[in-house]
């Protein structure tokens, strides 16, 4: 599969060229012939003999960026100056900051915001700890907690290397749901220590978003924190993914005109995301699922079935199939992959039922080339941004937490997750729905508002939100 040009590999090259002549057009041709694309060309200084130009190009990857620079350098008269990676520039110094909501202009402001006035508020909270939700940042604050053990598709890269992802997550919380989120990357991968740390910091937060913690530890960590805390705990790799997959499946089934209770689903991947997807599919009414992991189809008679796999075996594969992943696809209506690149091919998809659905979500390389899948399947979705129907967690988690916080929820349930999926799917109206548009853009104005309201209502929150005056009074 050829990697497409991507803004995430875009570079800006500051260079000088002779004034007049054909240097600029030669630059453009050199970039295009090397497979890149110029997305901006700005003259930053001009003289009688030379022009200084900033050229911004989209590339496929780091090696391709180097090829583009070399191609421009080969143009006669071009002198390369500074080459800047635009993605790295965006991360310099981090992507988030803390700002005061109130001005501190004089002694009166200082005495109310800090000492001595703040002591009155401290005593009020000491008398009634529930007041922390209305008199501190707690009511609108989420902790984004990771140990760096399963970051994106990069694996166990550690807490420092996980920080850019968690910062990005915090930025998305603010952008899409106006929630203040704090990245907390922990220098431990011991489940007991992680649980202890999260419990210790919980008083300052209204919700916990666990992120990029590897399986199977993530299951125990989430389950025990849910038991021990009085705020919702949400593992986005599990439940955020599950919500968006279910929403996309609702709409894909609308396209192919099939009933969710009657379809047969093959799920490749039994890790954190796969298990959460399975559980939500079953809760939403899917009756027939076959799950495959690295060792093959999960069945009640497969040797070595224990722990989490035991639950999977007892709740899936009703026909107790004993075959390969490829063989299990014969006659299936839906394939969902959260596993590894290239585990199926077009011939396998061809054996599926008429008007089949394929969600190949492994990133950056999916379980099957989407173009190959489209030759046989009616609807194809991926986890990538350069193909239609991207299944992306950011469609879910900002609205989910907005709803949880507005409802002052102490927990999160399957009912809330299904409500979120239904709300997300409803954003794509009947007049918009088609095989290449089953998931809305994350920038769609209704996405996070609808998800938040659905979760708030499912959590028993108010139909209409009170004003800040009503909350504080």
- Say yes or no: 302 and 399 in one domain: yes
Q: Is residue 96 part of a domain?
A: no
- Say yes or no: 81 and 48 in one domain: yes
How far apart CA 15 and CA 79 sit, in angstroms, is: 6
Q: CA angle, corner 352, sides to 349 and 357, nearest 5?
A: 75
How far apart CA 146 and CA 211 sit, in angstroms, is: 5
Q: Is residue 111 part of a domain?
A: yes
What pLDDT shows up at residue 62? 92
The enclosing domain of 244 has a CATH number of 3.40.50.720
Among the options 138, 169, 258, 279, which is catalytic? 169
Does residue 250 have an active-site annotation?
no
The pTM is what? Answer: 0.89
Q: Where in the sequence is the domain holding 371, given as residue range(s)?
A: 237-473
Q: For 24-52, how does the pLDDT look when each residue is reduced to its tens digit (9 = 90+)?
A: 889 999 999 999 999 999 989 888 888 89
Does residue 169 have an active-site annotation?
yes
Q: Is there a contact between 232 and 405 (Cβ–Cβ < 8 Å)?
A: no
What pLDDT shows up at residue 470? 45
Number of domains in the chain: 3
Among the options 9, 95, 101, 114, which is catalytic? 114
Domain boundary among 209, 231, 253: 231
List the chain residues with pLDDT less than 70: 1-2, 467-473
Structure tokens at 97: 């900051």
What pLDDT shows up at residue 471? 44
How far apart CA 271 and CA 244 sit, in angstroms, is: 17
- Say yes or no: 304 and 261 in one domain: yes
Q: For 315-328, how does the pLDDT look when each residue is reduced to its tens digit (9 = 90+)?
A: 999 999 999 999 99
- Say yes or no: 163 and 25 in one domain: no
What pLDDT shows up at residue 95? 95
For the chain, percent of residues with pLDDT exceeding 70: 98
- Say yes or no: 247 and 226 in one domain: no
- Say yes or no: 29 and 87 in one domain: yes
Q: Is residue 470 part of a domain?
A: yes
């Amino acid at each position: 599969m050829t990697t497409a040009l991507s803004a995430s590999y875009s570079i800006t090259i500051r260079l000088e060229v002779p004034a007049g002549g054909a240097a600029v057009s030669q630059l453009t041709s050199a970039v295009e012939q090397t497979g890149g694309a110029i997305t901006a060309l700005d003259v930053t200084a001009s003289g009688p003999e030379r022009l200084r130009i900033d050229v911004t190009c989209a590339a496929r990857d780091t090696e391709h960026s180097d090829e583009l620079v070399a191609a421009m350098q080969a143009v006669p008269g071009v002198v390369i100056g500074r080459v800047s990676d635009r993605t790295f520039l965006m991360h310099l110094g981090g992507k988030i900051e803390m700002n005061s909501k109130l001005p501190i202009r004089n002694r009166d402001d200082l005495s109310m915001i800090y000492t001595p006035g703040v002591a009155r508020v401290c005593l009020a909270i000491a008398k009634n700890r529930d007041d922390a939700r209305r008199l501190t940042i707690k009511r609108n604050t989420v902790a984004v907690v990771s140990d760096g053990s399963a970051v994106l598709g990069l694996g166990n890269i550690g807490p420092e290397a996980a920080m850019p992802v968690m910062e990005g997550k915090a930025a998305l919380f603010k952008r899409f749901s106006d929630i203040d989120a704090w990245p907390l990357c922990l220098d431990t991968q011991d489940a007991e220590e992680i649980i202890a740390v999260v419990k210790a910091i919980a008083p300052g937060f209204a919700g916990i978003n666990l992120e990029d913690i590897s399986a199977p530890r993530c299951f125990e960590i989430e389950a025990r924190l849910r038991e021990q805390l009085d705020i919702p705990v949400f593992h986005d790799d599990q439940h955020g993914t599950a919500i968006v997959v279910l929403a996309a499946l609702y709409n894909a089934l609308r396209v192919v005109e099939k009933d969710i209770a009657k379809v047969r689903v093959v799920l490749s991947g039994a890790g954190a995301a796969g298990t959460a997807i399975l559980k939500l599919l079953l809760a939403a009414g899917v009756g027939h699922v076959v799950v495959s992991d690295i060792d093959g189809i999960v069945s009640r008679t497969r040797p070595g079935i224990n722990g989490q796999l035991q639950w999977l075996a007892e709740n899936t594969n009703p026909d107790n199939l004993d075959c390969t992943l490829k063989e299990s696809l014969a006659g299936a209506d839906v394939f969902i992959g959260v596993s590894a690149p290239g585990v199926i091919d077009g011939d396998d998809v061809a054996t599926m039922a008429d008007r089949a659905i394929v969600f190949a979500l492994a990133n950056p390389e999916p379980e099957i080339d989407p173009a190959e899948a489209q030759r046989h399947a009616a609807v194809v979705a991926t986890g990538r941004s350069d193909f239609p129907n991207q299944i992306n967690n950011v469609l879910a988690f900002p609205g989910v937490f907005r709803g949880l916080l507005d409802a002052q929820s102490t927990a999160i349930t399957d009912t809330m997750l299904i409500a979120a999926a239904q709300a997300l799917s409803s954003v794509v109206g009947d007049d918009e729905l088609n095989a290449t548009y089953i998931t809305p853009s994350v920038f769609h104005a209704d996405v996070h508002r609808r998800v938040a309201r659905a979760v708030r209502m499912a959590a028993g929150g108010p139909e209409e939100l009170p004003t800040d005056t009503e909350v504080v009074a």
